[in-house]
Amino acid sequence: MIKSIVVDLDGSTASLAALTEAVKWAELLNAELRAVFVEDEQRFMYYPVGTAVEDEVPVPVLLPDDEAAGIKATVDQEADSIRAEFDRLTAGKTFPSSYSQIRGSVNEILTEEARAADLTVIGRRGRDSGAGTEPGPTTETLIHDALRPVLVVPEAPHTEGETVFAYDGSKGVQRVMVPGTELAHARGGDVVAITIGDDAAYAAQLDRVLTRYWQPYDVNGRCEFVEEKGKIVDIIATYTSDNKAGLLVMGAFGHNPIRELLFGSTTLDVLAKVSCPVLLMA
């Protein structure tokens, strides 16, 4: 069961959308909510010309105290604004909640926080990720390293509508079935699992397995075999858009994660194209 949720906050549009989602899920699941704002240690360092190197990698040094004080003041202003939004959204809620401000390596701290919770909620792109819709580097790191389900939230998410499972029988989607079904049960509404391909017999086998798995749950679920040609990424994005999905559940990798790492991840392409939150687990 999901009893603890951690949400990464950095003040970006996507992270504030993630906060709204995290509050919703904490309320639906009666789970503890932990919000974390990381003061990125890299903001307090610089790489001077001629600095020492270790294994040919430049070594950063701390900013002078006066410059560091200016950065700290800016960071604290950001934190105050984020904390105010957190307090506003959690005011009057009955679930336990907490807010932490920690300085250090963003990826290391958030990975540790994620492993200490049942579910991580994070915006698709962070404050320093620039323009675009591709997942930012911290989001990508958590998907790979958290070892927990990760809910990735776009900047302006569509959150109403059916829950869609992209179900291909892979290890990733099998692992995400438990938290995915728990979220589907908590949010209610229709649930559909889509299997994409040209093997109707294999799709029927997956249908039998999933139908038996869902039987003990109070889930209004069905399975659909989508026999279309084209990129799986585009088919999933089109399906979720046409059916106005409010949540997509999928494994972080397909059948061949090594090939995906070498030739471009289907997972990251899907995240860049869909407009609803996506629950993943590696």
- 181-212 pLDDT tens trace: 999 999 999 999 999 988 899 999 999 999 89
Instruction: Give residue 260's pLDDT.
Output: 45
Q: Contact 248/166 with Cβ under 8 angstroms?
A: yes
Instruction: Give residue 120's pLDDT.
Output: 98
Q: Contact 31/95 with Cβ under 8 angstroms?
A: yes
Q: Contact 192/165 with Cβ under 8 angstroms?
A: yes
Q: Among residues 146, 135, 170, 184, which one has the least CA distance to residue 259?
A: 170
Surface-to-core class of residue 262, CB atoms within 10 Å of its CB (0-12 exposed, 13-18 middle, 19+ buried): exposed
> Which DSSP letter does residue 63 get?
P
Cα distances (angstroms) measured from residue 82 to each of 17, 18, 89, 94, 241: 12, 12, 11, 21, 31
List, for the chain, all residue ranges whose pLDDT scores fall below the cut of 70.
Answer: 50-57, 253-264
Q: Contact 155/13 with Cβ under 8 angstroms?
A: yes
Look at the chain and count its residues: 282
Instruction: Give residue 54's pLDDT.
Output: 58
Q: Contact 244/161 with Cβ under 8 angstroms?
A: yes
CA distance 255 to 270: 16
Does pTM surpass 0.85? yes
Residue 257, token pair as written in the block: 């994660």
**Phi and psi, residue 249, nearest 5°:** -115, 130
Instruction: Give residue 50's pLDDT.
Output: 62
* Domain annotation for the chain: domains and CATH numbers: 4-153 (3.40.50.620), 163-281 (3.40.50.620)
